Amino acid sequence: MKRNLLEHEIYVPDQTDPKQAITRTTHMAIGAHQDDLEIMAYAGIEACFQKQDKFFLACVVTNGSGSARDNIYKDYSDEEMIEVRKLEQKKAAMIGEYSALVLMNHPSKAVKDKADKVIVEELADLLLAAQPDILYTHNLADKHDTHIGVVTKTIKAIRSLPKDKRPKQVLGCEVWRNLDWVNDNEKVYLDVSGHPNLAASLVEVFDSQIIGGKRYDAATIGRRLANATFNASHAVDETNALTYAIDLTPLCQQDDLDIATYISDYIERFQQDVLDRIKKML
């Protein structure tokens, strides 16, 4: 049975009424795990930071029980890790001045269950209440099954809404696979060079992952620099931090588009570009 919207665990850093904090949303991100949003949706966080007319809503779908753990966290139970991950995510929400953080606390197995409709319905309720202009989520070429579960359920949730209530733009972002392979004319370029101290702080707050054996902090900042540096081979860099995304908006506006075919077409166009470049030299 799905929960009513306000039955979710909702954290509001500025202590605004939770319902109001959700409805004032302009930018929103839906991610699978704690810290996914800070890695993939920093463009939205930055766009709203210190603004009085833009508000970032974060939604984390899973409970974090399957997180990697080592060092001081190596003997933590799944239940203890859930609480650690929640606290870390709330710290990020405070640092980033999020409008609100919604923790859905579902197990990963439910997200990966294609027959599960509860999460789809709960996401639809949240999206209908928030009605963001821009939505960030995982990309369809990600190699983490839980991430694919989240993005496909997010698309299904959006498709269940009236068309005039859907986000104006939906972006699939980088976490567990880079998008540098996407043809340049199809990339969505997100300049994330503003507030480098904020960008670093948001990923560094997830101590259980960093000291637990995963250097997401260094890897995230490094990927953004690499994207910026290797973006154009014959031009000077225009930014020192760049993230890529795939435009999922057509999938969220045209309900008859096949999700799998949509991403396979990107891959085929990339393959053709590679082959064309080689054949020119043969």
Residue 232 has what pLDDT?
76
The confidence score (pLDDT) of residue 272 equals 98
Q: For residues 156 and 170, what is the distance between their CA atoms, to the nearest angstrom?
A: 13
Distance CA 195, CA 58 (A): 19
Residue 236: predicted pLDDT = 63
* Domains defined along the chain, listed by start: 5-279 (3.40.50.10320)
Q: How confident is the model at residue 129 (pLDDT cuts 50, 70, 90)?
A: very high
Average pLDDT over residues 142-164: 97
pTM of the model: 0.95
Statement: residue 235 has pLDDT above 80:
no
Residue 244: how many other CB atoms lie within 10 Å: 24
Q: What pLDDT shows up at residue 234? A: 59
Structure tokens, 223: 């990927």
Highest mean pLDDT among 192-196, 208-212, 231-235: 192-196
pLDDT at 76: 86
- Find, among 183, 184, 32, the residue nearest to 110 by Cα: 32
Q: What is the pLDDT of residue 233?
A: 65
Tens of pLDDT, residue by residue over 27-61, are: 999 999 999 999 999 999 999 999 999 999 999 99
The average confidence (pLDDT) of the chain is: 94
Region at 273 (left for phi over 0; alpha for psi -120 to 50; beta for the rest) = alpha
CA distances from 200 to 100, 122, 193 (A): 20, 31, 11
